[in-house]
Structure 1
């Protein structure tokens, strides 16, 4: 991790969607498992799977990556539709299934990991790291932690 002393309260949290506009949400984290949103991989496109979520209404919602030029990381959104990020899959890390963007598919050449920060929603918020800027060159701020998104079956 690029932050040698990441905040401990950023561990063992569950992803939920915080409404920011019509069909738009920011992915935040909470300790309350009951608030977690169910997610699934939509692997119907041969170019790579989309990470989608069921927010309890008619539409699927997917991860969208926001690109910030000349930055070490960018925002992630959970928006109506399949999202703009493709190539998701799970890998085994220390006995757990961890969500990654697979190399060679969709955003896989650009994705460099997950970052969670205490940001502007008064709750931990999800960001994605750019692969071409190393965490050593762009270390996480003291309010952030490099994390794994671990699959929890419901």
Structure 2
């Protein structure tokens, strides 16, 4: 691909990333201001634990592509807020698994609804056909680029 197109792609990605993260953060902050205190990073951690209830901190760090040391303070805050629990692994007494609490699940579901509404708004702007093309291309990027780097 020619250099100018690569530069345009990088700029477009940066603008889209900043736009998306800002709007996701605002959406979660609206919920946080009313009922919870949850950062976007904590939401992503909570989201992963909700999807893989019983996940270890090591598995969680790998799933989020961060060092375990980066995940530890976020886990601590989520435990303090009562959103997740650390429990002994029954198969390996030395290991700890992370589970989502009822309170955490409630917060997760509210944030997830807001996130889905936000993304649906964006997809409606694209229209059905472009949304489908976008989804297919995004899946292709995830499968061929992201998954190959894990």
Query: Fold conserved (TM > 0.5)?
Result: no
**Structure (1/2) with the larger helix percentage:** 2
Larger Rg: 2
Higher relative contact order (CA 8 A, sep 6+): 1
